Amino acid sequence: MDHVISGVAKFQKEVYPNKKAAFQKLANGQNPEVLFITCSDSRIDPNLVTQTEPGELFICRNAGNIVPPHSNQTGGMTASIEFAVAALGVTHIVVCGHTDCGAMKGALKPEGLSSLPHVKEWLGHCRAATEVVKERSGCSELTHDHLEDVTKENVVQQIQHLRTHPAVAAKIANKHVTLHGWVYNIGSGEVLCYNSESGEFEVMDQSHAEAQLKR
């Protein structure tokens, strides 16, 4: 904890003065372009991975980068998505999974989560992903060997859940919002991007990123 506290002091003394004008502008409001939904995992730093500054990403984090399907029951993710899309007017939504995800490991073996009942219930939103992988692999039980497939499929399924949210559906209908699915590789720094036309994840480079934005 000591380094966290000293980090605050360093920010106030060294970082803030160099970006004072930007922070003072942000003090009066925000205008992010992207809603970035990712995992709570401590190894994921959205601003570092995307090389963005404060105010550019509206970030939502939870175990497993999950988007519960829309329902009449209000939750933190539902409210945040609605606010980002309908009030802030974001034009892009990214669902970003990652390698070695503990939540996805739990989704592989939900029966092992009896001591974590809330985690087990939350990961029920990943069931479609595990069932798809089971069907494709022809396996009735999933193992660690299926972790990568489940991680990718979970991103795809959470994008589908996003489409059930009225605010998102409305903006998609008018082509005012674009959905993106990513998987970040912690060890290599590589980012894979979901291609909805091919149904595959592709390595993101500059040319690929530009092609995604044109779609």
Binding-site annotation, residues for Zn(2+): 39, 41, 98, 101
Structure tokens, 7 = 């980090």
Binding-site residue numbers are: 39, 41, 98, 101
Specify the 3-state DSSP secondary structure of 150: helix
Q: Render 8-73 in DSSP notation, one character per residue.
A: HHHIIIIIHHHTHHHHHHHTT----SEEEEEE--TT--HHHHHT--TTSEEEEEETT---PPP-SS
- Asked whether 92 and 171 are in contact (CB, 8 A), the reply is no
Residue 103 contacts residue 39 (beta carbons within 8 Å): yes
The maximal CA–CA distance of the chain, rounded, in angstroms, is 58
Q: Any idea what DSSP says for residue 182? A: E
